[in-house]
Structures are given as C-alpha cells and as structure tokens.
Homo-oligomer: A and B are copies of this chain.
C-alpha cells in the first residue's frame, strides 16, 4: 500500500531523525567534556586536561557532519516548518560547538593553574561549572522533546548562574588584592569562570531556538538578565 510519495516522506523523516541524533550526541559530548574539565581542575591532572583538549576535535567534526546533513535536507526543498527545524539544527549545533570550546578552554587553563599552588576558589568554580553542565543537559533534553516550556525554565535559570559568576568574580578580585602572588592563577580562574558563564549563555541560546522552533517568530517572554560584572567597582 506504500505510495512513492510516502517513501520519500519517510526517508526525509529518517534524515531528520539522524540529524537530531547527531546533535544530541554532540551535545552529550560537550556536556561530558565540560564535566571532565571541571574534574581536571580539582584533580590538577595535566594529562587528562590534554585528552579533553584533543577530544574537542571530535565535536568540531560532528558539527561539520551536521552542516552536511542540513545541506542534504535543504536540497530537498523543505516546507516552512521543516526549514525552521533545519535552521534551528544549524544554530543549536553551533552553540554546542562553542560549549565544547569552552570546556577545552577550562581544561587548557587548568594546566596553567597547576603551575601555582592550589587555590581555595576552585571550589566555587566547581559549583558554577556543575550548574552550567546541568543547564546544558536540561536544554538538550528540552530539544529532544521539543519542549518550549522546559527550554523556558533553562532560560530563566541562567540568572542564577550569572549571580554565582558575579559572586565568584568579586571574591577573586578581593583575593588578588590581598595577595599579589595569587594574581596570575586568579586571572586564569577569572577567565575560567567567564567561560562557564558563557556556557550558560549558549544553553540560553539553544533554549531560545527551541522556543522559535515550537512557536515560530512569536516574541519570547521577558527574562531577567543579571551580569553585573561590568559594573564591579
């Protein structure tokens, strides 16, 4: 009973499923990389840091695959709803790729950090990082389920991450003023904290793309944004 048309539709759908699978795999890799990077900061393990840095290439390779698959899908002349999905796929994979970069960056800076004695502030960095990882995992889950409301919750929780970041930033500045020898390692910690705050921003971007996917161009609900670091005095 299968019509030729059904066949085409089905295989188009297969391609879409493959694309979604690739993106989710990519996302899980980025989340794991981020977790591994946080671990490596705690354990001061340069070798493991090197592995994380190398692994980032796999995420970059996957992003290229996604672009290819997107091209193949777009060549079929998709309808408007499908095209929204395709555009979202491109953007979400670009955000995941950036999250992977930040994970590699945290790992890179951890090896620089290991050239100085341990600092108490890696604890605060870890808390910030764990929240960032859970934001990434939650937004991927929302993407898998096409769940705009879950995405919206991730977006709202970004303010928490920003507040944590601002607190850690101030703490680090105070510490640097009290002890000049801590300036170099604390500078690395500042950038690592910024990287994790940026991971949260990319999770938010993904959340906004899920909203766009589900609701089209309907305006997003307002959101509180609290990055106060630029007014730190």
Contact = CB atoms under 8 A, between A and B. Distances in A.
13 contacts: A70-B87, A74-B86, A75-B80, A105-B230, A108-B230, A111-B231, A173-B183, A176-B180, A176-B183, A176-B187, A177-B183, A183-B183, A187-B190
A198 B180 CA distance: 28
Given A74-B78, A191-B194, A112 B177 contact: no
Nearest to A233: B115
A232 B114 CA distance: 11
B87 A67 contact: yes
A188 B177 CA distance: 15
Contacts of A79: 75
A191 B73 CA distance: 40
Interface string A90-121: 11001000000000010011011001000000
* Copies of this chain held together in the complex: 2
A184 interface: yes
Contact of A83 (B74, B111, B194, B232): B74
A75 B77 contact: yes
A112 B67 contact: no
A159 to B, nearest CB: 18
A109 B176 CA distance: 19
A84 B177 CA distance: 52
Contacts of A94: 91, 94
A190 to B, nearest CB: 7
A74 B90 CA distance: 13
Contacts of A108: 230
A76 interface: yes
A71 interface: yes
